[in-house]
Amino acid sequence: MATTDLERQSSNSTVDEADVPSKDWGWSGNAPNSARIFGVLFALLLVAMTIGNHTGKTEDIWLVGFAVAILGVIAVNWYSSRGKWKN
- pLDDT at 19 exceeding the cut of 90: no
Going by pLDDT thresholds of 50, 70 and 90, the confidence category of residue 17 is low
Decide if pLDDT at 21 tops 80.
Answer: no
Q: Is the CB of residue 50 less than 8 Å from the CB of residue 63?
A: yes
Best CA proximity match to 68, nearest among 87, 82, 50: 50
Average pLDDT, the chain: 78
Angle between the N-to-C axes of helices 58-81 and 32-48, in degrees from 0 to 180, rounded to the nearest 10 = 160
